[in-house]
Amino acid sequence: MPKAHVDKDTCIGCGLCVGTRPDVFEFDDDGKAEAVNPEVDELEVECPVGAISVED
């Protein structure tokens, strides 16, 4: 199953991904998103800074 990944150097903590898919993303202690349940069928989140990638 494809896996979501957050590039924390790129993430600005806008929260769109956490708000849209709280089952997949959470904030870490630095206010950056991380994929806590990265396996996704499909991901409809459009990160405004392109920090999220999905790899097969």
Nearer to ligand F3S by Cβ, of 18 and 40: the residue is 18
**Amino acid identity for residue 32 in this structure:** K
Smallest distance from the beta carbon of 41 to ligand F3S, in angstroms? 19
Closer residue to ligand F3S in complex, CB, 2/14:
14
Q: What are phi and psi of 54, to 5 degrees?
A: -125, 125
Tell me which DSSP letter residue 1 carries: -
24 binds ligand F3S (CB under 6 A): no
Length of the chain: 56
AA identity, residue 27: F
Residues that bind ligand F3S (CB under 6 A): 6, 11-18, 33, 47, 49, 51-52
